[in-house]
Amino acid sequence: MMAKRLHKVIPFLCGVLLTLILVVSSPWFSCDPSGIPKAKVMNRLEVLQTQPLESEAVQQVLPTEDALMGMSRKDVSQIYHDYVARIQTMCQRMIRPGRSGDGGWDVCMDPPYRLHAPCLVYSFGINFDFSFDDDIANKYGCGVHSYDPSMNVGDHLRGQRIHFHKTGLNATEVINNDGWRMRTLSSILKENNHSQETIDLLKIDIETSELWALPEMVKSGSLQHVKQLCFEMHIKRGFQDEPTKEKYIFGLSVFRHLYEYGFRIFKTHKNMYAKYISIYGMERTGCHEIYMIRKLENILLVE
């Protein structure tokens, strides 16, 4: 009887002993940390590419301008193009007033961003295409203020809800070399008695002037009542050379300020009419359509 029991126990004890020998000899059990595989240390670009949407605090904080200046032009360009292609927040329901292609713009209809009368929309850059403005006014009952100084059309009322202004959006108050009347957003809102009104949607399509107008809006506080913002961002136009490192850094600073102001990208779209082959070999575009909603706690809603 005893022999039979030993016959069963001895193989079991040998198995346990072998397991202990393997565990103790493993580098994970060693007191010497040099044998333990090290976690990969990712650079800023890798963090942007790999972090999930929920990790906004880590994902969206761009390197400081001083840090960017210390990087190569190639690395800074990659950070810019990765940033403008990254979604920062979700919108469950989107519509596209205006044309399905060029001329239309996407709008988030999730509460509290949903358009419904009474609502107020500002639209900069028309170029004789009122399809977006007409849909916003006629389908959703919004009052729309449309701006374009280049059409050689005077101020007028289009239908019952659209007010057209022969004025352009700018960072300063000037009459430019084309004879166009240019004003800042804060000045325009003041002219229309809308400085303290909720702006449900601000659309900007002004062919590179957004680079100068947007920083002024942040600085002046004229975006404080804006719930939704969509604009074309031109980092490069036409046959211009690849943007310099300084221009990429300036473009990133625009996005940094908008992010700090509470705006989050819910959709981004490459305008392939502006595509080009980068000096670094990849196909890129010099223009992105950027769609943003502002975090609710940052919006100063006006009753």
pLDDT for the residue numbered 287: 95
Helix residue ranges per DSSP H, 40-102? 44-50, 56-59, 65-69, 73-83
Q: 124: buried, middle or exposed (CB in 10 Å: 19+, 13-18, 0-12)?
A: buried
In 225-249, which positions are buried (b, 16+ CB within 10 angstroms) versus exposed (e)?
Answer: bbbbbbbbbbbbeeeeebbebebbb
pLDDT for the residue numbered 296: 77
**Whether the Cβ atoms of residue 98 and residue 135 lie closer than 8 Å to each other:** yes
At residue 222's C-alpha, the angle toward residues 143 and 224, to 5°, is: 85
**Whether the Cβ atoms of residue 250 and residue 211 lie closer than 8 Å to each other:** yes
Give me Rg for the CA atoms of the chain.
28
Distance in angstroms (rounded) separating the CA atoms of residues 75 and 115: 40
Distance in angstroms (rounded) separating the CA atoms of residues 203 and 124: 6
CA torsion through residues 64, 67, 73, 78, sign: negative
**Whether the Cβ atoms of residue 171 and residue 215 lie closer than 8 Å to each other:** yes
163 is written with which tokens? 């007010």
pLDDT for the residue numbered 28: 36
Full DSSP string of 126-178: -TT--HHHHHHHHHH--EEEEE-SSS---SEEETTTEEEE--EE-SS-EE-TT
Distance in angstroms (rounded) separating the CA atoms of residues 75 and 83: 12
Q: To 10 degrees, what angle do helices 245-260 and 73-83 make?
A: 40
| Full strand arrangement of the beta sheet holding 174-175 | 168-169, 181-183, 174-175
pLDDT for the residue numbered 103: 86
Structure letter (DSSP) for residue 195: T
What is the pairing mode between strands 283-285 and 275-277? antiparallel
Predicted confidence pLDDT, tens digits, the chain (303 residues)? 444 454 554 555 555 454 444 433 444 333 343 332 333 333 433 333 333 343 444 345 689 999 999 999 999 999 999 999 999 999 999 999 998 888 899 999 999 999 999 999 999 999 999 999 999 999 999 999 999 999 989 999 999 999 999 999 999 999 999 999 999 999 999 999 999 999 999 999 998 899 999 999 999 999 999 999 999 999 998 888 999 999 999 999 999 999 999 999 999 999 888 899 999 999 999 999 999 999 877 666 554
pLDDT for the residue numbered 238: 82
